[in-house]
Amino acid sequence: MSIDFSKAVGIHPDALRLRAERTKILASNIANESTPGYQARDLDFAASLRQAQQDGGDGLALDSGADALKYRVPFHPAQDGNSVELGVEQAAFAQNASDFQTSLTFLNLQLKGLAKAIAGQ
């Protein structure tokens, strides 16, 4: 009997990878806050995670590329075509960062459990 590590750690490595990817997208929204014509984007986290799991463990299963990215619908459209709303993006960024920490904590606990199993404690 052997432990399949990728099964043992579950969904969290994929989730972490996606969280990092989403951080990049949100950071780019915040960075382009004053760029005329810039359209804020975001990824559909649930759909992307499902996709990442279906495609198997190896490699980053985000090859669907830019199609996976959706455009944000602004509450108050700006005249210069920029659809970044700083408050919305900052909230999404903070939420995403704390979800990243949560996944990381889960992963850490699972790794600790595995280490204990291996050590036979």
Partner 1 sequence: MSFKQISQIAGSAMSAQTVRMNTIASNLANAQSASGNEADTYRARKPVFAALAASGQGEQQLAGSRVQVLDVVESSEALRKVYEPGHPLANAEGMVFYPNVNSVAEMTDMLSASRAFESNVEVLGRVKSMQQSLLRLGEG
Q: Which residues lie near partner 1 (CB under 8 A)?
A: 16-17, 20-21, 23-25, 27-28, 30-38, 41, 43, 60, 62-63, 65-66, 68-69, 86, 90, 93-94, 97, 100-101, 104, 107-108, 111-112, 115
The torsion angles phi and psi of 70, rounded to 5 degrees, stand at -110, 155
Quick one: 60 or 77, whose CB is closer to partner 1?
A: 60
Min CB(100)–partner 1 separation in Å: 6
CA distances from 71 to 41, 42, 47, 53, 93 (A): 4, 6, 15, 24, 16
Min CB(98)–partner 1 separation in Å: 10
d(C-alpha 110, C-alpha 78), whole Å: 46
d(C-alpha 18, C-alpha 61), whole Å: 9
Helix (H) or strand (E) holding 119: helix 86-119
Min CB(20)–partner 1 separation in Å: 4
Quick one: 53 or 69, whose CB is closer to partner 1?
A: 69
Quick one: 35 or 75, whose CB is closer to partner 1?
A: 35
Quick one: 1 or 87, whose CB is closer to partner 1?
A: 87
Residue 4's SS3 state is coil
